[in-house]
Amino acid sequence: MRVPYQKLKAEFERVLLSIDLPLEKARQCAAIFAANSRDGVYSHGLNRFPAFVQTVKEGLFKPDAEAVMVNNLGAIEQWNGNFGLGMLNANRCMRRAIELAGEYGIGCVAIKNTNHWMRGGTYGLQAADAGFIGICFTNTIANLPPWGGLDPRLGNNPLVIAVPRKGGHILLDMAISQYSVGKLMESKSQNKRLPLPGGYDQEGNLSTDADAILQSKRMLPIGFWKGSGLSLMLDLLATLLSRGKSTSKISEHEKEWGVSQVFICLKTGTEQNERLINEILGYTKSSNPVDGEQVSYPGENMLKTRERNLLEGIPVDEEIWKRVLAM
């Protein structure tokens, strides 16, 4: 089943207004959720929307709260999200990082006491749309075991890097696990096996069964011990730069809230960028493809999915769509 982009966005806005989000905030949140599904990130679009609504109803997110700057260090600023809507806090911080980069060549905004930003790539693309390189990351509740451990002690901390390009921005938006929690939940709901092992089952065997991995809470970090180390470093940087909560403190509660995030913008300011970028991409894509595969750069398939979904409508999980329509 496919639903037009504008219809999806309108339904999201209607539901958010019904739970008393201010009009402008409802519109911004609805646009982000719809854009995520439009770009093929269904796990952080329609599929995540009912959970977001429930979280707002439970009072973990404060719709009326605004992010404020608490410390200025020149090109680096520290902000307090006051437990407001994570998507809007992230948008505000990236906007400020863009402003700082315009003034200093580089801008860094670290925020504490904020909440889930949904798709991190949203804010990388925000920087790239403004002509800047964007880098951002967040810590999370502990949901990933460190290498050599059985118990979750690391956050599945997303890392986003975006590079502006006229022919379509390059966007790396990755979880530190082989598959994000959202992707595992999506595969579970569709009763699909993962193409590659994504973690361990409760007997300690590598598995392509998303449900078994979710039950064991033993997701596989990318690059094994390297992904484990990267997750730890991202948590350290997010916590130290924002003076906010670490994964350890966030995990004291059953549900994730009050996370720490970092938004960095870089101004390159050279007309040679496009030639250099295309040179690198061209060389990468000149590799002979494996049978049935294709060489693509990060974000390339997203652009193709966006084009198709805008033309044909966005594919939706019919059960979740019915739930949204009934809200």
- Active-site residue (options: 44, 116, 169, 253): 44
At residue 272, the pLDDT reads 86
155 φ, ψ (degrees, to nearest 5): -85, 150
The Cα–Cα gap between 75 and 81 comes to: 19
- List C-alpha distances in Å: 309 to 2, 49, 320: 8, 18, 18
Side-chain-side CA neighbours of 19 within 13 Å: the count stands at 25
pLDDT, tens digit, for every residue of 183-212?
888 888 888 999 999 999 988 899 999 999
The Cα–Cα gap between 265 and 102 comes to: 9
At residue 167, the pLDDT reads 87
The one-letter amino acid code at 163 reads V
At residue 23, the pLDDT reads 96
The Cα–Cα gap between 150 and 130 comes to: 43
At residue 190, the pLDDT reads 84
**Cβ atoms of residues 10 and 322 within 8 Å:** no
Helix (H) or strand (E) holding 99: helix 86-104
Domains, the chain, ordered by start: 68-177+221-268 (3.30.1370.60), 178-220 (3.30.60.50)
Positions of the chain with pLDDT under 50: none
The Cα–Cα gap between 267 and 119 comes to: 23
At residue 116, the pLDDT reads 95
* Residue 253 falls in the annotated catalytic set: no
Q: Report if pTM > 0.85.
A: yes
At residue 189, the pLDDT reads 82
At residue 150, the pLDDT reads 86
**Cβ atoms of residues 9 and 318 within 8 Å:** no
